Structure 1
Amino acid sequence: MAMTLRLTDEENHHLDELAAAEGRSKQEIMRLALADRWGRLQKEQQLGEVLSRVLPRYRGLLERIGTA
């Protein structure tokens, strides 16, 4: 799917420099950035799910540790 990405001159310059430094196309840099951010979001969501299950179980212990 085609997409237009509007960048400021400074952002475009940064993208040019990054692409040149990594020997990649600007398109590939943007796809990698998307994949990286998507991966972080997934990890954050997984952590939130784990914490929502674990914290209630250990709330009393955590509160005692916190006041020690």
Structure 2
Amino acid sequence: MAMTLRLTPEQDHALTLLASAHGTSKHEAVVRAIALAATRTVQDATVDELAREHIKGHRELEADIRRSRGQALR
């Protein structure tokens, strides 16, 4: 599937640096970044689900953290 990616000059510079650091093309750097982000998101969701199911008191702790974050944002 073809896709056009529109980047600001700053984003393009960051992508150029990322590709250079990995010794790849910018295209490959984007593909790898997407795969890595997807993997982390899925893994984070899986860990959260397992914690909710198996760690006693996790739900209450999670709720406390969410409440404190909400108060900090105000």
Q: TM-score range by the shorter chain?
A: 0.7 to 0.9
Q: In structure 2, do the counterparts of structure 1 residues 21 and 49 end up closer, same or farther at CA, with 3 Å as the change threshold?
A: closer
- RCO (CA 8 Å, sep 6+): is it higher in 1 or 2? 1
Which ranges of structure 1 fall in alignment gaps of 5 or more residues?
60-68
Kindly state the Cα deviation for residue 49 of structure 1 after the two structures are TM-superposed: 1.3
Map of 2:41 onto structure 1: 41
Which ranges of structure 2 fall in alignment gaps of 5 or more residues?
58-74
> TM-score, structure 1 length as denominator?
0.73
The C-alpha deviation readout for 1:19-45, integer Å capped at 9, x for no partner, is 223220100000000010011011111
Q: How many residues align?
A: 58
Map of 2:18 onto structure 1: 18
> What is the percent sequence identity of the aligned residues?
39
> TM-score, structure 2 length as denominator?
0.68
Query: After TM superposition, where is structure 1 displaced by more than 4 Å over at least 4 residues in a row?
Result: none
Map of 1:4 onto structure 2: 4
